[in-house]
Chains A and B, each alone.
Chain A
Amino acid sequence: MKSRRDVFQAIADPTRRAILTLLAVQALTPGAIADNFKSSRQTISKHIQILTECELLEQEQSGREIYYLINAKKMKEVAEFIEPFRKMWDERFNKLEAIMKKYKPNK
């Protein structure tokens, strides 16, 4: 795999992140994925190709249809997924700390 196809580059794009979110719920055909976007099928197909090259997606043949699903193993390597979760707690705890620093027991 060429370094150009870097996982973090792949998820830096909002459309590709949205595709990953869709596939986090269920496996879909390229057509079904494209139906969720206003962009052309070719554009979405290009995004799918990049995600597949980064091994974030896997293909599964079912009859004549190809379904795309998330490669869970690869996804876990993407620490960026945990970062928003950590940030959410960090912000909450920052707030807690700020509130309690000003806190004066009135009882």
Chain B
Amino acid sequence: METKTKVHAEDGKQELVITREFELPLELLFRAYVEPEIVEQWMGTKVLKLENKKHGGYQFETTDPKGNKHLFNGTIHAFVPNQKITRTFEMENTPFGVQLEVLEFQALTDDTCRLQMHVIYESVAQRDQVLKLPFTQGINMAHNRIQDILNKLKIVNK
């Protein structure tokens, strides 16, 4: 399968660029970032606050499979409809610091568009840690699955 999302992360830099082309008109892509009900669906998060304007802010809340709640927040620095959103992003109560995100929306044709997300971290180390997060979570999930299977086996053996 063709991979539509590209991540460009150079060695020793504290930034990365995520690009993606969508089979959607530009307006629809932008709307997916603006309407709280839609953000909730594709980000898999609860939107507690979303103020789409300069000096605005947002706060999201997710619940992991164990029922723990995680909060995310940020401040919106630039908001240009169908063009650009500049914002900060922070995972609350984690050592990952604050990242700056510059999102650029661009129409390719009437029915296709491109999103470029330029993310700048506080340091190279921090960027690399965030990059490794899904990898780490994957391992934890695998461990939990193994634990589940072992627990079931124990029950059967009793």
Give the interface of A toward B (CB within 8 A): 14, 17-18, 21, 24, 72, 76, 80-82, 84-90, 92-97, 99-101, 103
Contact = CB atoms under 8 A, between A and B. Distances in A.
- Candidate in B18, B22, B134 with the most chain A CB atoms within 10 angstroms: B134
A90 B12 CA distance: 24
Interface of B: 3-7, 9, 11-12, 18, 20, 22-24, 28-29, 31-32, 38, 41-44, 115, 128-139, 142-143
Nearest to A105: B31
Contact of A85 (B7, B12, B42, B139): B7
B38 A85 contact: no
A43 B11 CA distance: 33
B136 to A, nearest CB: 5
Contacts of A95: 41-42
B31 A100 contact: yes
B38 A99 contact: yes
A82 B7 contact: yes
B11 A89 contact: no
Chain B at the A interface: mostly helix, strand, loop or mixed?
helix
A76 B128 contact: yes
Contact of B132 (A24, A100, A101): A24
Nearest to B129: A24
Contact of A92 (B42, B131, B139, B142): B42
Given A21-B136, A81-B135, A93 B9 contact: no
A103 B28 contact: yes
A92 B130 CA distance: 17
12 contacts: A14-B139, A17-B135, A84-B135, A84-B137, A85-B7, A85-B134, A88-B134, A89-B20, A90-B20, A95-B41, A96-B29, A99-B41
A38 B47 CA distance: 41
A99 B142 CA distance: 29
A21 B141 CA distance: 13
A81 to B, nearest CB: 6
A96 B42 CA distance: 5
Contacts of A94: 4
